[in-house]
């Protein structure tokens, strides 16, 4: 995940426009030009525009990338020196330069002549000015320094080395601030020119003074260049900047530490915004207010600098030249759902990490509702779909606060001449309601507290029409484009809707007439239990939706509430007896309850061509339904016995493999016609006594990868609902689908078994196992042994001769190739008494044979807890005639020089090197004497027995340290010397 390196801005296809929400359409400070997003020096361009120094082109653009011309810069300087007003200038009878008058740039002659007369410009030599030529940074710096009061000749701005002298003083005066990487000898862009002019306006003017000094006994006059003294107005002092001199303008940051925009409102009678700021530092206390016709509302909650004319005792009546962010910056614009916790000093926004200003992570970030500064909230106050601005207040690139715009989306249920109803009532007189509002519209509603004019504001929500092509948890794909679902909105796979979409979130979905609806099979229902005052009830039912068996709550049937009371209004209520086994279309309401409609051939064919209520049972001899209806291989077939047992959903292909007839109690089908042939596509069969059919194929194994969208619902070209996923089978990645919705039962990271239908289609998929194990022993041969811990017991099983070995990486949810039995490492221990799980093992139905091993190549399953070892000690170390020769190292190989007790070491030859995994059990084993000695054991270990190659310890051990050593002596009754055969290490 990338760290934040620069401010991010997310572009939303259907984002709310805050300016529209404010119901005031004015030119904003941040949107003066059509190509505003290309301007880098936004503050400078905005301020120079507000001060009437710089303008754009007729098409509304600024073109910040274009080079500025010498003629253009002279006009800008003349206007700036005249306080933003067009100066009254004349031209001499004889032009100073030969290439201006009569040229295409003759319009600029008066400005060029004025600048020449003031020593600001001097031409390019040979009596020429080159009005259409480019201006370099050094050249503009020289012009601006002269405008600030420097004398070109005395400051050595002419002759050899002029540019060096200019650049030194320009740097001292801050003319290159913000442009440190600019090549001052290259042509200057309009963007950078604005920055230099704005820097110059904030620079203090200079003046020349003369001082008499004595040198060599002579009295001489010395010229000194110095900054002009501050201007004093009343009790306030102001730096004598070019801005103050020419515009009588001052800035709030001259005397306040911070100025924060806390609220704004639109004053209609004045045709202006009124902005209120909270201030710290300075002589004033409390809030200050400014008014302006320009829209600066996007600076809410930011620390700003206000540039205004010092012509009023009350700032509210002062002329505002501009308001811009001081150190604040917007790091991100998008929706609240993009913001998530990360750690104590950072958060993540749309996957990018941002630092936060304190050590409380997301919990420490202040949230402000738009235009409501007095209440500080948290992230839980902002719904995921709210528009947000993530703000850094002090320029350290760290998140300080978030501003969010609360809104709701409501369906318009009434439109009258004076008012409308959308959730609640709004009037045309008191509220802002969009033109053309109509019943059944959806309106985006921003309450008065968050608008500039203090009125509730309704704007029409955008709608898109399309078909549901995929679903995930709280997400829906509409014709391939993914959107988030707001709580309470439900959709059906394959159905077409008019979607109400705001900020990428679906707020409503109205089903279109041509939509194909989802179908479920109702297997059985619970008995009626009254609620809702004893007359109606929510009935619990067992259903199959695709291949998922679910228990659902049925709230309505045929649009009516369910009752068992006689005499109820039949237009509002239906009797529970009508809720019977069969096929139904369904929707899920905002309460999570189901509303069902029985499939029929009159008005609810669920999008299919016909519904056959008496299709006849499946006939094995013809592979058709009893009335001759062909069953599609990809048909969804619901089967069960009449007692509701054996409920399953299989394919038509699987049904045709059944060896007997089926469906003597119920046989119904939804039919589609393809090329003149009718195919049963959805079938429900219930039989009185025959066990339902199931498919019987060899299982394949695979690991579900986090690729190609993970596990998601979609459909084929013929409309068949399928679940897509990418599976790693040990040698290749396979993007496959299975019919039906498996998104709730199969997840990324699952190990699964399945049956292959075709190159892309699978069926009968299920999670093969979810039990992590720690492999501690493995024979790498056909039908060899495998030993592993489950956390509750130790297993010693046999490998199937065709055991499948699949390498996986559970950290990255990817597959790993070239993994074999030989490459599997034994599980490691990170803590005394535990083992780190490193694999999943699939066994046959007997539990004795291992069919598949999913081994993590990191030797550790990600996110799985360590497994406790059982209270037994497996004899898995060396067998030897120790005879006092010292201790043996666990797991190494030793040569047996002699075998003194065949009852323990039966079949072991001498002079052969062994690493014995277990001792053979013999008939004489019960006569063995087992004794135990140990060191570093804090608790007594008793009742040691030996059986089947396993030493059982009745009492668990504990130790203050690692590496408890046990010495186990096993001897037969006739072994007088008490030969020691086994030495093992047991970690408690």
Return the structure tokens found at 455.
């009125």
Containing 768, the helix (H) or strand (E) segment is strand 761-769
Q: How far apart are CA 79 and CA 246, in angstroms?
A: 10
Torsion of CA 81, 84, 88, 91, to 10 degrees: 60
- pLDDT single digits (tens) 268-327: 999 999 999 999 887 666 789 999 998 999 999 999 999 988 876 677 788 899 898 888
DSSP 206-260: EEEEEEEEEETTEEEEEEEEEEPPPEEETTEEE--BHHHHHH-EEEGGGT-SEEE
What residue ranges in 810-882 does DSSP mark as E strands? 814-816, 834-835, 839-843, 849-856, 867-868, 872-874
pTM of the entire predicted model: 0.52
Residue 192 phi, psi (nearest 5): -75, -30
Report residue 968 CA to chain centroid gap: 58
pLDDT value of position 899: 33
pLDDT value of position 654: 75
- pLDDT single digits (tens) 383-439: 999 999 999 998 888 999 999 999 999 999 899 999 999 999 999 999 999 999 998
Residue 260 buriedness (CB in 10 A; 0-12 / 13-18 / 19+) = buried
What residue ranges in 366-462 does DSSP mark as E strands? 366-369, 372-377, 387-392, 401-405, 408-411, 414-415, 419-422, 424-427, 432-433, 442-446, 457-460
Q: How far apart are CA 39 and CA 308, in angstroms?
A: 24
Q: How far apart are CA 446 and CA 404, in angstroms?
A: 12
Extract the residue ranges of the chain whose pLDDT is less than 50.
Answer: 1-31, 513-516, 530-533, 695-698, 870-944, 946-988
Is 738:765 a contact under the CB 8 Å cutoff?
yes
Containing 146, the helix (H) or strand (E) segment is helix 137-147
Closest listed residue to residue 461, CA positions, set 483, 490, 438: 438
Q: How far apart are CA 474 and CA 488, in angstroms?
A: 10
Closest listed residue to residue 850, CA positions, set 815, 824, 811: 824
Q: Give whole-number Cα distances, 771 to 789, 826, 837, 852, 882, in Å.
A: 11, 17, 10, 13, 40
12-47 burial by CB neighbour count: b if 16+ within 10 A, else e?
A: eeeebebbebbbbebebbbebbeebeebebbbbbbb
Closest listed residue to residue 532, CA positions, set 505, 558, 564, 501: 564
- pLDDT single digits (tens) 120-141: 999 899 999 999 999 999 999 9
Q: How far apart are CA 341 and CA 344, in angstroms?
A: 9
Q: How far apart are CA 222 and CA 235, in angstroms?
A: 34
Q: How far apart are CA 86 and CA 76, in angstroms?
A: 10
Containing 138, the helix (H) or strand (E) segment is helix 137-147
- pLDDT single digits (tens) 401-415: 999 999 999 999 899
Q: How far apart are CA 400 and CA 398, in angstroms?
A: 6
pLDDT value of position 363: 87
Closest listed residue to residue 391, CA positions, set 770, 8, 837, 799: 8
Is 979:905 a contact under the CB 8 Å cutoff?
no
Closest listed residue to residue 899, CA positions, set 965, 970, 950: 970
Residues 6+ apart with CB under 8 A from 153: none
pLDDT value of position 876: 30
Closest listed residue to residue 613, CA positions, set 622, 596, 625: 625
Nearest 5 degrees, angle CA 203-CA 204-CA 207?
Answer: 135
Q: How far apart are CA 837 and CA 279, in angstroms?
A: 60
pLDDT value of position 236: 76
Q: Give whole-number Cα distances, 902 to 271, 888, 905, 914, 923, in Å.
A: 108, 21, 5, 16, 11
């Amino acid at each position: 995940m990338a760290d934040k390196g620069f401010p991010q801005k997310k572009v939303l296809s259907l984002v709310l426009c805050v300016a529209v929400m404010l119901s005031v359409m004015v030119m904003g400070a941040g949107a003066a030009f059509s190509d505003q997003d290309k301007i880098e020096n936004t503050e400078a361009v905005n301020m120079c525009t507000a001060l009437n120094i710089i303008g754009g082109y007729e098409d509304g653009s600024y073109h910040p990338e274009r080079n500025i011309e010498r003629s253009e810069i002279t006009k800008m300087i003349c206007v700036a020196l005249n306080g933003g007003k067009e100066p009254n200038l004349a031209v001499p009878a004889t032009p100073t330069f030969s290439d201006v008058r009569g040229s295409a740039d003759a319009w600029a002659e008066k400005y060029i002549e004025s600048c020449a007369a003031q020593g600001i410009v001097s031409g390019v030599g040979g009596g020429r000015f080159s009005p259409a030529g480019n201006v370099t940074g050094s050249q503009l710096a020289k012009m601006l320094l002269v405008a600030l009061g420097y004398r070109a000749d005395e400051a050595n701005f002419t002759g050899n080395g002029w540019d060096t002298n200019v650049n030194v003083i320009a740097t001292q005066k801050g003319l290159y601030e913000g442009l440190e990487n600019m090549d001052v000898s290259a042509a200057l862009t309009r963007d950078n020119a604005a920055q230099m002019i704005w820097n110059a306006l904030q620079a203090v003017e200079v003046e020349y003074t003369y001082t008499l000094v004595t040198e060599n006994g002579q009295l001489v006059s010395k010229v000194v260049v110095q900054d002009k003294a501050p201007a004093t107005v009343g009790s306030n002092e102001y730096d004598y900047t070019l801005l103050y001199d020419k515009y009588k303008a001052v800035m709030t940051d001259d005397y306040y530490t911070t100025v924060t925009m806390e609220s704004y409102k639109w004053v209609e009678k004045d045709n202006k915004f009124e902005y209120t700021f909270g201030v710290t530092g300075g002589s004033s206390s409390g809030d200050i207010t400014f008014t302006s016709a320009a829209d600066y509302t996007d600076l809410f909650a930011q620390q700003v600098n206000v540039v205004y004319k010092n012509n009023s005792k009350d700032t509210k009546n002062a002329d505002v030249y501009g308001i811009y962010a001081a150190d604040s910056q917007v790091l991100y614009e998008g929706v609240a759902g993009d913001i998530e916790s990360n750690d104590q000093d950072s958060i993540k926004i749309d996957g990018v990490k941002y630092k936060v200003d304190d050590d409380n992570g997301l919990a420490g970030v202040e949230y402000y509702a738009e235009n409501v500064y007095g209440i500080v909230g948290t992230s839980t106050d902002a719904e995921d779909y709210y528009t947000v601005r993530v703000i850094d207040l002090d320029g350290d690139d760290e998140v300080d606060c978030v501003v969010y715009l609360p809104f709701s989306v409501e369906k318009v249920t009434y439109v009258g001449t004076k008012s409308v109803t959308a959730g609640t009532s709004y009037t045309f007189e008191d509220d802002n309601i969009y033109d053309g509002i109509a019943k059944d519209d959806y309106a985006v509603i921003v309450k008065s507290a968050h608008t500039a004019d203090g009125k509730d504001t309704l704007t029409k929500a955008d709608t898109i029409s399309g078909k549901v092509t995929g679903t995930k948890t709280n997400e829906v794909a509409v014709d391939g484009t993914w959107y988030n679902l707001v709580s309470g909105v439900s959709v059906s796979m394959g159905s077409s809707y008019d979607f109400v979409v705001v900020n990428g979130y679906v707020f409503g979905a109205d089903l279109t007439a041509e939509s194909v609806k989802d179908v479920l099979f109702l297997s059985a229902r619970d008995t009626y239990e009254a609620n809702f005052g004893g007359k109606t009830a929510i009935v619990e039912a067992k259903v199959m939706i695709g291949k998922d068996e679910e228990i659902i709550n049925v709230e309505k049937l045929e649009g009516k509430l369910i009752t068992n009371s006689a005499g109820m209004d039949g237009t509002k209520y239906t009797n529970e007896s009508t809720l019977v086994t069969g096929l139904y279309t369904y929707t899920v309401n905002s309460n999570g309850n189901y509303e069902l409609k029985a499939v029929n051939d009159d008005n609810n064919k669920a999008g299919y061509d016909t519904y056959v209520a008496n299709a006849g049972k499946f006939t094995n001899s013809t592979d058709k339904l009893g009335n001759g209806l062909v069953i599609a291989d990809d048909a969804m077939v619901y089967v069960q016995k009449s007692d509701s047992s054996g409920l399953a959903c299989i394919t038509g292909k699987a049904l045709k493999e059944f060896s007997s007839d089926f469906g003597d109690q119920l046989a119904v089908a939804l039919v589609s016609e393809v090329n003149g042939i009718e195919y049963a596509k959805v079938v429900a069969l219930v039989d009185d006594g025959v066990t339902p059919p199931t498919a019987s194929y060899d299982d394949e194994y695979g690991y579900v990868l986090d690729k190609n969208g993970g596990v998601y619902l979609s459909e084929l070209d013929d409309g068949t609902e399928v679940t897509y996923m990418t599976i790693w089978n040990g040698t290749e990645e396979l993007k496959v689908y299975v019919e039906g919705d498996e998104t709730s039962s199969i997840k990324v990271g699952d190990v699964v078994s399945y049956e292959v239908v075709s190159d892309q289609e699978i069926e009968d998929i299920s999670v093969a196992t979810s039990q992590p194990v720690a492999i501690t022993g493995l024979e790498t041969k056909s039908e060899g042994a495998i030993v592993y811990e489950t956390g509750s017991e130790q297993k010693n099983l046999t490998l199937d001769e065709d055991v499948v070995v699949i390498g996986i990486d559970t950290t990255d949810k990817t597959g790993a190739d070239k993994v074999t039995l030989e490459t599997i490492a034994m599980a490691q221990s990170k803590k005394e008494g535990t083992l780190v799980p490193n694999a999943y093992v699939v066994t046959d139905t007997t539990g004795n044979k291992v069919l598949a091993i999913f081994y993590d190549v990191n030797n550790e399953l990600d996110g799985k807890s360590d497994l406790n070892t059982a209270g037994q000690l497996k004899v898995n170390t060396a067998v030897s005639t120790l005879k006092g020769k010292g201790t043996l190292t666990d797991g190494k190989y030793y040569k047996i020089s002699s075998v003194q007790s065949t009852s323990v070491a039966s079949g072991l030859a001498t002079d052969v090197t062994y690493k014995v995994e277990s001792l053979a059990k013999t008939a004489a084993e019960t006569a063995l004497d087992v004794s135990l000695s140990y060191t570093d054991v804090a608790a007594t270990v008793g009742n040691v027995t030996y059986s089947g190659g396993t030493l059982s310890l009745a009492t668990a051990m504990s130790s203050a340290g690692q590496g408890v050593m046990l010495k186990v002596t096993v001897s037969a009754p006739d072994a007088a010397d008490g030969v020691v055969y086994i030495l093992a290490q047991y970690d408690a």
